[in-house]
Chains A and B, each alone.
Chain A
Amino acid sequence: MELEPVIGLEIHAQLLTKSKIFCGCSTAFGASPNTHTCPICVAMPGVLPVLNREVVEFAMKMGLATHCTIAPSSQFARKNYFYPDLPKGYQISQYELPLAVNGWVDIETEKGPKRIRIHRIHMEEDAGKLVHDEFQPMSYVDYNRTGVPLIEIVSEPDMGTSEEAAAYLRTLREILRYLEICDGNMEEGSFRCDANISLRPVGTEALGVKTELKNMNSFRNVQRALDFEIRRQRALIERNEPVVQETRLWDVARNVTISMRGKEEAHDYRYFPDPDLVPVVVSDSWVASVRETLPELPEAKRERFMAQYNLPLYDAQVLTSSKALAVYFETATAEFPQPKTVSNWIMSELMKQLKRDEREIEDCPVPPENLAELLSLMDTGVISGKIAKTVFDDMYTTGRKAKAIVEEKGLTQVKDEGAIEAIINEILRENPTEVELYRGGKEKLFSFFVGQAMRKTKGKANPQLVNEILRSKLANEER
């Protein structure tokens, strides 16, 4: 029996509002514990939460960007559970009436684009952070994160492989970052993912028993956890053993998922509408005004890059993977209108350096105008392509402009035929044995002479001229 995985993802994205969802405390990350708290955060009796309007707008943006329907009226609900990360004894979330429903995004797969449906997007508050003492039976509670706004994005079970799940995650993260409503940092937890996964015989419709995977804080871990779980469930089914519906944690050190059975109470959240929060009623005109603020989204930009700049899909995908990178490319291309050359330099030289330093394009020491200037110098023959790479390294390290570096270091390409001829004569004189061998038929030695010429000119000689002159010299003497 051939089995296929069925995967659905629940994504929690922290919204980049300045203040919390229901009070004016700051959402800034990394403050000393409990310094961003107030009576609302710690659930003192008698307090009233008041909804941050920006949270609704941000959530609407994501809803519209993923083709959801915005509910004309939505409502907050209490999700009841007792755990010290939430002092109220419940989390304020949305249940029966979420803000956005029935959307979709297209992801790129090996077999071409695939549509993943989005079941719902709702708003909720984040919980606090617990640090467990290693030696005492005690936990330290920090409520700074309590009340930081989240949206939960729930997909339909439309993914069939861990690669598709990763592609869906990347797509959503890109959109969130384009909208500038979430920084998408998985390691810091501002973009989190839980996965529901089950297996079923190929060709059948009914879903198998699923497990829920948690604790995966990188794209790689999501993929590895899913792959492990697919193998684990397949083995169970093949042995005719039941898959148990449960929550499992990804253990990054051991590369396995482990059962949380017994450690967690049965889910019984007893949701009910929160009487403290009145309905959110969204008019058509409000939706329209938010829609107007949407930027060009990754998919549209990708298509435009391919059409307008005649770039291959791969280049367009890389360049639109972040809004800042796309802006960088377009700024450089406006100054140096050879898109493919700009793209090549960004994807090779520039990204290599950024990757090595774990820097984002936003912190790139070479502004796009400076890259364009360097490429112009290369294009007009002032410097050779080889020299351009070393100049670029210099620009990256020092932040200086190409022209200044070229002038200071005297890197201007030697295009004076007389000068190159003189150098070549010198080389032929100094290497009589090699000349002899070459003329005797060992033509591979040609590159040796080119190398010598480049060394003598510190790479500045125009390679075409060197080739031409060398060829004629080596041939001439033969006669």
Chain B
Amino acid sequence: MKEKITRQEVRHVAQLARLELSEEEEKQMTAKMNQVLTYMEKLNSLDTSRVPHMTHAIQLQNVFRPDEVLPSMDREQILANAPECDGVSFLVPKVI
């Protein structure tokens, strides 16, 4: 069976997702992702040539809210789950 995704591509996706994978994990992920993609391949057996392009499964459009300011959340609560904060800002490792 032809590979749907290569080790190289898995490494690239991991890098984009800021994940560090060991050799072993890379191998595992490649195999697993290939399984998933092969499974999804089944969908291609359906003829969709006459089905219009759609982005959603539900027939819903133009869901809007009016331009009104609502109270924000208390900053203490917003920051409560932060791995690190100084009570005002979230603190993250410096990335430039």
User: Once the chains bind, are B94 and A24 in contact (CB under 8 Å)?
Assistant: no
Considering the complex, give the chain B residue whose CB is closest to the CB of A131: B89
Residue with the greatest number of chain A CB neighbours at <10 A, chosen from B65, B71, B88, B91: B65
> 1/0 contact trace for A33-44 toward B, CB 8 Å?
111111101101
User: Once the chains bind, are A141 and B96 in contact (CB under 8 Å)?
Assistant: no
B69 nearest CB across to chain A (Å): 5
User: Once the chains bind, are A82 and B18 in contact (CB under 8 Å)?
Assistant: yes
A332 nearest CB across to chain B (Å): 34
CB-defined contacts of A263 to chain B, threshold 8 Å: 96
Is B61 an interface residue when CB atoms closer than 8 A count as contact? yes
29 contacts between A and B (CB under 8 A): A18-B68, A24-B65, A24-B68, A32-B75, A33-B89, A34-B89, A35-B72, A51-B65, A52-B66, A54-B67, A73-B61, A80-B16, A81-B16, A82-B17, A83-B95, A84-B92, A131-B89, A139-B91, A139-B92, A139-B93, A139-B94, A140-B88, A141-B91, A265-B15, A265-B16, A273-B56, A278-B61, A279-B62, A281-B61
User: Once the chains bind, are B91 and A33 in contact (CB under 8 Å)?
Assistant: no
> 1/0 contact trace for B1-45 toward A, CB 8 Å?
000000000001001111000000000000000000000000000
Considering the complex, give the chain B residue whose CB is closest to the CB of A280: B62
Is B51 an interface residue when CB atoms closer than 8 A count as contact? no
Is A220 an interface residue when CB atoms closer than 8 A count as contact? no
User: Once the chains bind, are B94 and A25 in contact (CB under 8 Å)?
Assistant: no
6 tightest A-B CB contacts, nearest first: A24-B70, A54-B67, A140-B89, A273-B55, A53-B64, A141-B90
Is B46 an interface residue when CB atoms closer than 8 A count as contact? no
CA A44 to CA B82, docked complex, whole Å: 11
User: Once the chains bind, are A50 and B64 in contact (CB under 8 Å)?
Assistant: yes
CB-defined contacts of A82 to chain B, threshold 8 Å: 16-18
State the B residues within 8 Å of A (CB).
Answer: 12, 15-18, 55-56, 58, 60-73, 75, 78-79, 81, 86, 88-96
CA A336 to CA B70, docked complex, whole Å: 47
Considering the complex, give the chain A residue whose CB is closest to the CB of B71: A24
Known: A278-B63, A279-B56, A279-B61. A38 touches B94 (CB 8 A): no
Is A26 an interface residue when CB atoms closer than 8 A count as contact? yes
Known: A33-B88, A53-B64, A281-B61. A18 touches B79 (CB 8 A): no
> 1/0 contact trace for A131-175 toward B, CB 8 Å?
111001111111100000000000000000000000000000000
User: Once the chains bind, are A25 and B55 in contact (CB under 8 Å)?
Assistant: no
**A84-B95, A281-B62 known; 10 other A-B pairs, CB under 8 Å?**
A23-B70, A38-B73, A51-B64, A73-B61, A83-B95, A84-B92, A132-B94, A137-B94, A268-B16, A275-B55
Is A259 an interface residue when CB atoms closer than 8 A count as contact? no
B19 nearest CB across to chain A (Å): 10
User: Once the chains bind, are B65 and A18 in contact (CB under 8 Å)?
Assistant: no
CA A51 to CA B67, docked complex, whole Å: 9
CA A35 to CA B58, docked complex, whole Å: 35
CA A53 to CA B90, docked complex, whole Å: 30
User: Once the chains bind, are B75 and A35 in contact (CB under 8 Å)?
Assistant: yes
Is A17 an interface residue when CB atoms closer than 8 A count as contact? yes
CB-defined contacts of A270 to chain B, threshold 8 Å: 16
Is A198 an interface residue when CB atoms closer than 8 A count as contact? no
User: Once the chains bind, are A140 and B90 in contact (CB under 8 Å)?
Assistant: yes
User: Once the chains bind, are B18 and A19 in contact (CB under 8 Å)?
Assistant: no
CB-defined contacts of B96 to chain A, threshold 8 Å: 132, 263
CA A279 to CA B55, docked complex, whole Å: 8
CA A248 to CA B5, docked complex, whole Å: 33
Is A233 an interface residue when CB atoms closer than 8 A count as contact? no
User: Once the chains bind, are B60 and A24 in contact (CB under 8 Å)?
Assistant: no
User: Once the chains bind, are B67 and A17 in contact (CB under 8 Å)?
Assistant: yes
CA A210 to CA B35, docked complex, whole Å: 40
Known: A24-B70, A32-B88. A138 touches B93 (CB 8 A): yes
CB-defined contacts of B68 to chain A, threshold 8 Å: 18-19, 24
CB-defined contacts of A138 to chain B, threshold 8 Å: 91-94
Known: A19-B70, A139-B94. A56 touches B86 (CB 8 A): no
